[in-house]
Structure 1
Amino acid sequence: MLSETIFRSDDLPASERFDAWEAVMSRTNSPMHLTSDHAADYQAHLRLITLGEVTLWPATYQQLVFLRTPRLIRQSDPEHCHLSLVLRGDAVVTWGKAEAEYGTYDIFTNDTSVPYEIATGAGPITSIGIEVPKARLGLPWDKARQAIGRPISGREGIGALVAQFATQVSSDSGAYGPADAHRLGGVLCDLVTAMFAHVAEADAALQPETRHRTLLLAVQAFIREHLNDPDLNPGCIAAAHYISRSHLHRLFRTEGTTVAAFIRAQRLRSALRDLGDPALAATPVHVIAVRWGFRDHATFTRAFRAAYGAAPTDYRHGADVSALDAG
């Protein structure tokens, strides 16, 4: 399991909760002053997930104003860029005379070296914070900083990849071991770097390794979103990403697999999940096969048996399928 630290305001007396939350925020992001209409009995919950030098912190908390002042910056500056993916609620962020509003599935960014004020809405807010050292970005800071404060959507493009990755790791952190932490942190750094480069129109400044890994992640996400299409193939995947088929195949060779094998593995894993879902027990096997892009039941059965050592019907009825990795 990844290293986690958990804060629950309910674990403390009401009189201590807000001061404790301010201390947690100052350690998690950077020293700041907080105010809230609910300070007398503050409700907040946070999980701090460590991914090497990068941290994720999914949190839910009541109305809050964050204030990072020049004096606090002089006292302590971790030299981080911060991102927050808003999952519920809204906020207004102010930098000097500039102001921006953020709502559900927006990503807002700031720089610990620049004064700012963040005021959340009246209701509770749920978000995933991301802290990335500026030095870990694969983009010169003079380029990356141009993206800070710019509107970024978590619903499309590279912003969606950042949102999906942060959400997946946050919601299923128990699926990863300590040895995965640095790798996951590296992937997140690459995604944030690529997102900043796109927003700042500085893609040419990206390091080749970052460009390669981000493109691969984008292609893999596209494949997962289109698994139900039986006509999904290297040609349409390459066209959707404005690359040649040979470039696409090289991307997957570096991962020790092929495009076809990756598609098949993702389809089989999705079907495996559905076959094991009690809510879908009445759904015929052939319907599940079609749902995940298999053209016919016989092809699906052969592929499933080859991957997991049991027929789909046998698995549904309790056969032991232990080989969950289908490549």
Structure 2
Amino acid sequence: MPVIVSTAELSAADRVERWHEAVTNTFVPLGVDLLEEEPSPGDIVSDRLGVLRISRVQAGPQTVTRSSRLITGEDQEFVILTLQERGTAVKEQDGRQCVVRPGQFSLSDSSRAFRKTLHERFAFTSFQFPREALSVRHEDLRLLTATTFTGSEGSAAVLAQYVAGLARVTADVDDAVGRRLAVTALDLLALLVDERRGRLSRPHSATAAATLVRVKDHIMRNLADPDLSPRTIAAVHFMSVRYLHKIFEQDGTTVAGWIRAQRLERCRRDLLRPRALETGVAVIARRWGFVSAAHFSRAFRDAYGMTPREWLVHGLPDARRPGEDVAA
């Protein structure tokens, strides 16, 4: 159930204290400096989706600071992904400063000091989760805080699109689905961090391996679809086509090659079934997503050293082989 906080009904004087309390309760202990003489009203709507706390915040100009004195060794460490929707934010952490505009996002780590300044009325959606839930190296994350990610290209675009969608459906999914959606979001963020740090070439990347398992499962469940392609597969899994090809390269194959091999294997098995002769080669090929009979025949011969028809006849009991005298 969402938690809604608004200072709209308060006097300008009372808004300062109430807003500071709302910001700290929603995120982590923060210093808040409102930049208007008479503070504008602010609203925070928060909800949970698995390990994610998703909060939409809109308010007037302000600076929020996570100073070292607000950080204690007993605090749980959080990562906050902030997707900017209106206004411009200037963020500082780990010796860097970045400007985040609408459609862009950035990362903050609550275990170290940071500052964010918004000079105009703004709106953003944040996604906060425990640091230990993200499977990336601490040093890699540290090098990407206060960095602007443009949500219009590559894996950053996939992540931005996915988390924006999560914010829209939070109230409509049950806990079990919510936990799985949150895990996928963190997988996508880990993918982005690994990509930016040049770690996708690691042959034993846990993130890539887990993603490959999910992708292969999807392919197996959709082998019969003739429109199955790298583009449609990447879209379903909220990843770039480039990354999809990358994880298959790590597995020593290609997307198209793996799909073709699985389809051919299913056809090979079906051609050995008792009623295969009655069903026919063309029907079996279409059953597993082959549109062109000629293409199927060539691919089958390349894979197994004989045509589908030859394989079918080869697998028949002697008494059922066409053109032979059953009584002989």
Give aligned-pair identity as a percent: 18
1:108 aligned counterpart, secondary structure: strand
Counterpart AA for 1:182: R
Matched, 1:194 2:204: no
User: Contact 2:82 / 2:107 at 8 angstroms: preserved in 1?
Assistant: yes
Q: Distance in 2 between matches of 1:236 and 1:75?
A: 46
Summarize the Cα distance change of 1:206–1:13 in structure 2 as closer, same or farther, 3 Å threshold.
farther
Verify: 1:89 aligned to 2:99, yes or no. no
Cα separation, partners in 2 of 1:207 and 1:161, compared to 1, 3 Å: farther
Q: Distance between the aligned counterparts of 1:189 and 1:144, measured in 2?
A: 13
- Residues 122-271 of structure 1 aligned to structure 2 (within 5 Å): 122=120, 124-204=121-201, 210-211=207-208, 233-234=228-229, 241-242=244-245, 243=248, 244-245=254-255, 249=259
- Helix, strand or coil at the partner of 2:23: helix
Which amino acid in 2 is paired with 1:27? N
- Post-superposition offset of 1:90: 0.4
- Matching residue's letter, 2:197: A
Q: Give 2:5's aligned residue.
A: 7
After superposition, the CA RMSD in angstroms is 3.3
Following superposition of structure 1 onto structure 2, how do residues 27-176 of structure 1 map, counting pairs within 5 Å?
27-38=25-36, 40-74=38-72, 77-95=75-93, 97-122=95-120, 124-176=121-173
Alignment CA distance shift 1:5-1:84 (3 Å): same
C-alpha displacement of 1:210: 2.9
Number of corresponding residues = 238
Structure showing greater Rg:
2
What's the offset of the Cα at 1:48?
1.0
Give the superposition deviation at 1:234. Answer: 1.9
Could you say what secondary structure the match of 2:71 adopts? Answer: helix
Q: Deviations over 1:1-55 (max 9, x none)?
A: xx32111222444432222221122122211111112364431122112122221
1:22 aligns with: 20
Residue identity matched to 2:65: L
CA shift, 1:188, in A, is: 1.5
- With normalisation by structure 2, the TM-score equals 0.63
Aligned-partner Cα distance in 2 for 1:214–1:62? 41
Query: AA paired with 1:128?
Result: T
Q: Distance in 2 between matches of 1:218 and 1:68?
A: 40
SS of residue in 2 equivalent to 1:74: coil
Seen in structure 2, the aligned counterparts of structure 1 residues 168 and 215 have a Cα distance that, compared at 3 Å, is farther
Q: What do residues 230-254 of structure 1 show as CA deviations (whole Å, max 9, x unaligned)?
A: x96526668754242357749x99x
Q: Contact 2:65/2:116 (CA < 8 Å) preserved in 1?
A: yes
Q: 1:217 to 1:103 in 2, by over 3 A?
A: farther
> Residues of 2 paired with 1:74 and 1:145: CA distance?
18
Tell whether the 8 Å contact from 2:94 to 2:145 is kept in structure 1 after alignment.
Answer: no
| Aligned residue type for 2:82 | S
1:60-106: CA deviation from partner (whole Å, max 9, x where unpaired) = 11111011111011376331111111111101112365322111211
Paired residue secondary structure (1:35): strand
Name whichever of 67-76 and 238-247 sits farther off.
238-247
Which stretch has the larger CA shift, 141-150 or 50-59?
Answer: 141-150
8 Å contact 1:197–1:206 — kept in the other structure? no
Give TM-score, length-normalised by structure 1. 0.63
**Structure 1 residues 127-163: Cα deviation after superposition (integer angstroms, max 9, x where no partner):** 1111121100122323332222233111122211221
SS in 1 for 2:178: helix
Structure 2: give runs of 5+ residues left out of the alignment: 217-225, 234-240, 249-253, 264-328
C-alpha contact (below 8 Å) 1:83/1:131 kept by paired residues = yes
Q: Is the 8 A contact 2:136 2:190 kept in 1?
A: yes
TM-aligned CA distance change 1:133 to 1:249, over 3 Å: farther
Secondary structure class of the residue paired with 2:143: helix
User: 1:95 touches 1:115 (CA, 8 Å); kept in 2?
Assistant: yes
Q: What stretches of structure 1 of length at least 5 have no aligned partner?
A: 220-230, 254-327
What secondary structure does 2:111 align onto?
Answer: coil
Q: Is the 8 A contact 2:44 2:57 kept in 1?
A: yes
Question: Are the counterparts in 1 of residues 35 and 63 from structure 2 also a CA contact under 8 Å?
Answer: no
CA distance in 2, matches of 1:199, 1:140: 12
